[in-house]
Amino acid sequence: MSARNAGGGAAARGPGGEAAAGWEPVIGLEIHAQLRTRSKIFCGCEVAFGGEPNARCCPVCLGLPGALPVLNRHAVELALRVGLALGCRIAGRSIMARKNYFYPDLPKGYQITQYEAPLCEGGEVPFLLAGEKRRLRLTRIHLEEDAGKSLHGGGATRVDLDRAGVPLVEIVTEPELTSPAAAHAFLTALRRLLVWLEVCDGNMEEGSLRCDANVSLRRAGETTLGVKTELKNLNSFRGVEQALNFEIDRQAALLSAGQAVAPETRLWDAARREARPMRGKETEQDYRYFPEPDLPPLVVDAAWRESVRDGLPELPHERRRRFEEEYGLSPAEAELLTADRELADYFEAAAAGGDAALAARWVAGEILRLRRETGGFPVPPGTLGRLLTRVGEGAVSHTAAKTILERLAADGGEPDDWIEMLGLARLDDAAALAAAVDDVLAAHPDELARYRAGRTRLFRFFVGKVMEATGGRADPRRLDRLLRERLDD
């Protein structure tokens, strides 16, 4: 039932690919998001991207003999923000656990994570797929520490532990996505939310957001799950979609030929566009989980939980809905304008007390363009609002307003000042407009004759010429009326 909520159809391929013999994909995702704390989860070393190797390490994150972890309160707070925003049940008491395995970037020989008693359970993420509202249920969200980085090459492995101990939340979804496109759409919405909540900077290239995927196939209508494979090394949302497509095709081919899918982990190779099985005993790991004795159970009482809940901003999907209801925006417009909090805040400030539809068009158009060019919002929203008021009054034409916006972006100032300085006030003077029309008609007798002979399309020609002559200041409606009067004389 809920599988259909989160899916995109019964075909084995997302839109754009051929259906593969009636197989329905079942996809679950595991997302790791680095939390935007200043220090690591169990020690005071700074969290930062890049820089010198092993420059932000201490006995705790190095796993030196005798070092002990102490949990970062702010990491818990950020995890609570995510859990509460997604409607999870927050555990009043959750347990940190050790996941034991050997790897060069895991200095203690175990990762401190949560296993049987995570911080959050349940919850769901609303997202849009091809304009339709969906929800993907979550299994759980928990806190854990990141590992360092191993760099392989030159016959050796080099280890940098700067990243070891960076706080992560692991978000596990129910296996209820039914297409790679849905996975992409879900990830887009999740990333937006994490950035919106200021919990994570959502940067997959830098590794602050990572995703692994599990995928299996079954016949449409079946309820049991097929054998799943795990996909790792997915470094972008496109990579997630491509890898899922690859794997679905691969599994469909196997199953259609009567062969079984092996449960395994495959690494995505973005360059070669294929997912190859990991060698070694990775998939048979026995992590020997047990409760972390160095950390007491994490207690989140009602007071803490509710204070985090009270501090939550209006969530993206709530704001989107409000933009549709309060401002009458279309779903597409509302979705666009809630892509991130800064943009949504900008729109509301610009629309305040004015024509929301007009503001929406301008923010979605000109302002976003300026943002792409400059990386920010060079024109304050209030200033835009005042410009749009003039446009709404008819005091200045759209074309003129665009010119003014460019000047505001480049040089600041106020719309009224620019209107005056550039002489862009709408040509209100009926006499001057009539004079301009007469001049144009007089200057183009051939076209006038052709028009009166039936070439009514030349109307636009005259409109264009009058606009040119008036520097774009003519009010289109008046011009239209006046020109018809003159031409139909």
Partner 1 sequence: MELGEDVVRHVEDLARLELTAAEREAMRRDLQRILDYVADLASLDLDGVPPFAETRPGGGALREDVPQPSLPPPAFLDGAPAADAGHFVVPPAIEAAEDGDA
Partner 2 sequence: MLERLTLGEALDGVAAGDFTAGEVTAALDARIDALDLRLNAYLHRAPGGAATNGAAPRGEEAPGGAATGGTPPGSAAPREDAPQDGGPLRGLPFTLKDNMNLRGTPTSCASRILEGYVSPYDCTAAARLLAAGGRYLGKTNMDEFGMGSSNEYSARGPVRNPWDLSRAPGGSSGGAAAAVAADLALFALGSDTGGSIRQPAALCGVVGAKPTYGRVSRHGLVAFASSLDQIGPIAKDVADAARVLELIMGRDPADATTLDAPVPDLRAAAAAGARGLRVGLPEGLADLGLDDAVAVVWEAAAAALAAQGGERVAVSLPSLRHATAAYYLLATAEASSNLARYDGARYGRRAAGAADLEGLYRRSRAEGFGPEVRRRIMLGTFALSRGYYEEYYLRAQKVRTLLARDFAAAWERCDCLLLPATPGPAFRLGERLDDPLAMYLGDVFTLPVNLAGLPAASVPVAVHEGLPLGMQVVGRPLDEATVFRAAGALERAFPFRETRRRAVDAALDAEGAP
Q: Summarize as ranges the residues that interact with partner 2 (CB under 8 A).
A: 59, 62-71, 98, 100, 102, 104, 107-110, 157, 159, 286, 288, 290, 293-296
Q: 40 or 137: whose CB is closer to partner 1?
A: 40
* Contact of 433 with 478, CB cutoff 8 Å: yes
Shortest Cβ 8–partner 1 spacing (Å): 30
CB 61, min distance to partner 2, A: 12
Of 156, 257, 431, 453, the one binding partner 1 by CB under 8 A: 156
Residue 345 CB, nearest approach to partner 2 (Å): 39
Q: How far, in Å, CA of 149 to CA of 56, rounded?
A: 13
- C-beta closer to partner 2: residue 92 or 296: 296
**Strand bridging mode 265-269 / 96-100:** unpaired
Task: Indicate the Cα dihedral angle 36, 41, 44, 45, nearest 10°.
Answer: -70
Near partner 1 by CB under 8 A: residue from 233, 236, 389, 403: 233
Which partner from the list partner 2, partner 1, none does 198 bind, CB cut-off 5 to 8 Å by kind? none
- Beta-carbon contacts of 30 under 8 Å, excluding residues fewer than 6 positions away, are 170, 171, 172, 173, 211, 212, 213, 214
Do 278 and 264 touch, CB atoms closer than 8 A?
yes
CB 218, min distance to partner 2, A: 28
Alpha-carbon Rg for the chain, nearest whole angstrom, is 30
Q: Min. distance of Cβ 208 from partner 1 in angstroms?
A: 14
Q: Which of 244, 96, 86 is nearest to 178 (CA)?
A: 244
- Write down the least CB distance from residue 40 to partner 1, Å: 9
Compute the distance between CA of residue 5 and CA of residue 132 in angstroms, rounded to an integer: 10
Asked if 208 touches partner 1 (CB under 8 A), the answer is no
Binding to partner 1 in span 4-63, by CB under 8 A: 37-39, 42-46, 52-59, 62
Contact 331, 131 (CB under 8 A): yes
CB of residue 366 to partner 1, shortest distance in Å: 40
Q: Is the separation of the CB atoms in 134 and 182 below 8 Å? A: yes
Buried b (16+ CB within 10 A) or exposed e, 235-244: bebebbbbbb
C-alpha 147/C-alpha 41 separation (Å) is 12
CA dihedral sign of residues 472, 478, 481, 485:
negative
Tokens of 19: 């259906």
Q: Which does 158 bind (CB under 5 to 8 A by kind): partner 1, partner 2, none?
A: partner 1
Tokens linked to 430: 């009926």
73/133 with CB nearer partner 1: 73
3-class SS of residue 290: strand
Residue 294 binding target from partner 1, partner 2, none, CB below 5 to 8 Å by type: partner 2
Contact pick of 150, 203, 307, 330 for partner 1 (by CB under 8 A) = 150
Closest approach of Cβ 247 to partner 1, in Å?
A: 17
> Which partner, partner 1, partner 2, none, binds residue 249 by CB below 5 to 8 Å per kind?
none
98 binds, among partner 1, partner 2, none (CB under 5 to 8 A by kind): partner 2
- Binding flags for partner 1, 86-105, as an x/- string (CB under 8 A): -------x-x------xxx-
Span of 242-250, 278-286, 342-350, 417-425 interacting with partner 1 by CB under 8 A:
278-286
Reported as type and span, the H/E element at residue 159 is: strand 156-160
List of residues contacting partner 1 (CB under 8 A): 37-39, 42-46, 52-59, 62, 64, 70-76, 93, 95, 102-104, 149-152, 155-161, 232-233, 267, 276, 278-280, 282, 286, 288, 290-291, 293, 295-299
